[in-house]
Amino acid sequence: MRQLILAALLATAGMPAFAATAKAPAKQAVQLEVKVRDLSPLFLDFYKVASAPVVQAPAAPATPAADGKQAAVPAAPAVPVESEGDRRWRLFKKIYNVSAHEDDAATRAALEAAWPRYAAALPQINAGFDGIAAEPAEAIDALSAQYFLDKPFSVRWITYVGAFEGRVWSQEADGIVNVNLPLEVDAKTRALPLHRILSKVMQDKNAHFGSQPRNLAELLISEGVQAHVLRSTVPGHKVETYLNLNAEQLAQASSNRKATISTIITKLGDGSAATMGSYAGEQLAQTRYVGWLLVDYLVKKQKARYADLIRQKPADLVKASTKALAVINAGK
């Protein structure tokens, strides 16, 4: 187990709503428990065995009859040998069996496609977690400066070797957030998904609404803050990338902006299952786009901080969001 004390900015209680003169919160220590599970040795064991040449046992020759006193023994056929792919898959399942995919068919196809590329990636795979340790530490520092952590939490970095998908994912168990980081790809490939996951975790742990926004205004703020925090900690990407949308989804949301905002304004205080389910489901692209515009306005025009926005009382957030979206919709 590895532990560290993270010097994080703490949000003050009862923050005034988006006040431009809000005092910077005090700097205090928040305990962040960090654990590591490095699966690279398992992969290297698998790779070594699977890469070794296979020696095929020769066929046994026939034994001739001796002086006609016994029958000749026929030749024994060679023992059938697995195909390279079959052998590799059998060893993968037996020794490693870690994948970014959910089913065997996709895992095997990915393994076959990735196999010729592993040799070039062996140096970074051999380095294991220690080779990328600075990345998650820097991500935590950058994100905590945006969210002003005031609650301790535990995270476990699980470093694994995938098939060059670059997938980072997380799951929480027993109070520990497990974040899976691929070793075979470069730091740039890991950066955005790592920050996206940690941003969501930190917001869930510190927002007044936790992981479940209580009304549409909080859902907009949740999505908008996460996207803007990503832009501040991993710059250089397109807006749709931060919003986790494709270009077509963003263009469609933008083209319907006025009508969408007009409808949303009437529902900001609505926390019904129907409304929340719709805007977190089939209308998620609109939610993310409008959330992006709303947070951008509140930060630029009202000098709000991301940490302020996720800690507001629901009624205050609805009121401020209503005014801000009306101004946004009145613009071009």
- The tens digit of pLDDT for each residue in 270-306 reads 999 999 999 999 999 999 999 999 999 999 999 999 9
Which tokens is 26 given?
């005090």
CA 65 to CA 205: how far, in whole Å?
83
Report the SS3 class of residue 57.
Answer: coil
What's the one-letter identity of residue 135?
E
Q: Would you state the pLDDT for residue 5?
A: 38
Domain ranges of the chain: 1-53+81-206, 210-332
Report the SS3 class of residue 151.
Answer: coil
Strand order in the sheet with 169-173: 2-9, 27-38, 153-160, 176-182, 169-173
Q: Would you state the pLDDT for residue 62?
A: 58
* Residue from 51, 47, 19 nearest 308 by CA: 19
**Residue pLDDT tens, the chain, 332 long:** 444 434 333 333 333 345 433 344 455 456 788 999 999 999 999 999 999 987 665 655 656 656 655 555 565 555 557 899 999 999 999 999 999 999 999 999 999 999 999 999 999 999 999 999 999 999 999 999 999 988 888 999 999 999 999 999 999 999 899 999 999 999 999 999 999 999 999 999 999 999 999 999 999 999 999 999 999 999 999 999 999 999 999 999 999 999 999 999 999 999 999 999 999 999 999 999 999 999 999 999 999 999 999 999 999 999 999 999 999 999 86
CA 165 to CA 65: how far, in whole Å?
61
Phi–psi pair at 304, nearest 5 degrees: -75, 150
CA 182 to CA 86: how far, in whole Å?
25
**Distance from the Cα of residue 139 to its chain's centroid:** 12
CA 146 to CA 304: how far, in whole Å?
12
Which tokens is 318 given?
């609805």
Q: Which helix or strand (DSSP H or E) is residue 257 part of?
A: helix 257-265
Q: Compute the CA torsion angle 184, 187, 189, 192 (nearest 10 deg).
A: 140
